[in-house]
C-alpha cells in the first residue's frame, strides 16, 4: 500500500496546526486527506446491508466534522488521524444501524455463517452492531490488538504504517492482527470471548 496521503509532511504540519486550534488549517487539511477518507468510507459502506442510504461523500463529511468540530483535537501522527477518522465512521454507521431498529442480541436477525477471513473482508456484509460489540470487548481486554484492528481494518493502513503508528515491530503487528481477527471471529460467531488467543 502506498503512503495514504500525497504529501505526508504537509499533512503532518496541518494536523499539528488543527490540534493547536487553527480553523484555517482544518479547511486546508480536508482536500489533502479527502481521497483516503473517501476510500475508507467506501470500504465501510461496502460492508453495510442492502438499502443503506448514506453515501461515501456524506460519511466523509460527517466524520470529518466530528474529527475537527469538537475543538479539542489531538493526533499523534497521520496514522492516529486516520484511525480517528475510521473510528468516527464506525460510530456513525453503528449509530445508524442501531437507529434502524436492530436489536443488540438477536431480535429477529438471522445468523449467518461467518468465516474468519470475513472479519477483514472489505466486500462482505458485516453486522456492524455485532462487530461493534466484539470490538468493545477487544478494546477492554487487549488494547494494543484493538489498536491494530482499528489501524489495519478501519483506517486501511499497511502492516508497516501500523507498526510506525504504534511504535512496534511489523512482526508484532502481523501477529497481533492474526490473533485479533481470530478473536473477533470467535466472539461474533458466539463462541465466547475469544480470550484463548
3-class DSSP state for residue 161? helix
- Digit-coded pLDDT (tens) for 59-75: 898 888 888 876 667 77
108: left (phi over 0), alpha (psi -120 to 50) or beta: left
Sorting pLDDT into bands at 50, 70 and 90, what band is 1? very low
Sorting pLDDT into bands at 50, 70 and 90, what band is 144? very high
Please determine, for residue 14, whether its predicted confidence score (pLDDT) is greater than 60. Answer: yes
| 188 contacts 137 by C-beta, under 8 angstroms | no
Q: Please indicate, yes or no, whether the overall pTM of this predicted structure exceeds 0.85.
A: no
3-class DSSP state for residue 48? coil
The residue extents of the domains of the chain are 8-188
| 25 contacts 3 by C-beta, under 8 angstroms | no
Q: Which residues of 138-176 are buried (b: 16+ CB within 10 A; e: fewer)?
A: beeebeebbbbbbbbbbbbbbbebbbbbbebeeebbeeb
Sorting pLDDT into bands at 50, 70 and 90, what band is 171? very high
Amino acid at each position: 500500500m502506498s503512503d495514504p496521503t500525497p504529501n505526508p509532511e504537509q499533512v503532518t504540519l496541518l494536523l499539528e496546526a488543527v490540534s493547536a486550534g487553527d480553523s484555517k488549517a482544518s479547511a486546508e487539511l480536508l482536500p489533502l486527506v479527502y481521497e483516503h477518507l473517501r476510500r475508507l468510507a467506501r470500504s465501510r459502506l461496502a460492508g453495510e446491508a442492502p438499502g443503506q442510504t448514506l453515501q461515501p461523500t456524506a460519511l466523509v463529511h460527517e466524520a470529518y466534522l466530528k474529527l475537527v468540530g469538537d475543538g479539542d483535537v489531538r493526533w499523534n501522527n497521520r496514522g492516529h488521524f486516520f484511525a480517528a477518522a475510521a473510528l468516527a465512521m464506525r460510530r456513525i454507521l453503528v449509530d445508524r444501524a442501531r437507529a434502524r431498529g436492530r436489536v443488540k442480541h438477536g431480535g429477529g436477525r438471522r445468523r449467518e455463517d461467518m468465516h474468519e477471513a470475513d472479519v477483514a473482508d472489505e466486500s462482505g456484509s458485516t453486522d456492524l452492531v455485532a462487530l461493534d460489540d466484539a470490538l468493545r470487548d477487544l478494546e477492554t481486554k487487549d488494547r494494543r490488538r484493538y489498536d491494530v484492528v482499528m489501524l489495519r481494518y478501519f483506517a486501511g493502513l499497511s502492516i508497516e504504517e501500523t507498526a510506525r503508528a504504534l511504535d512496534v515491530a511489523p512482526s508484532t503487528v502481523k501477529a497481533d492482527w492474526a490473533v485479533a481477527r481470530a478473536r473477533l471471529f470467535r466472539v461474533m460467531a458466539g463462541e465466547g470471548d475469544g480470550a484463548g488467543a
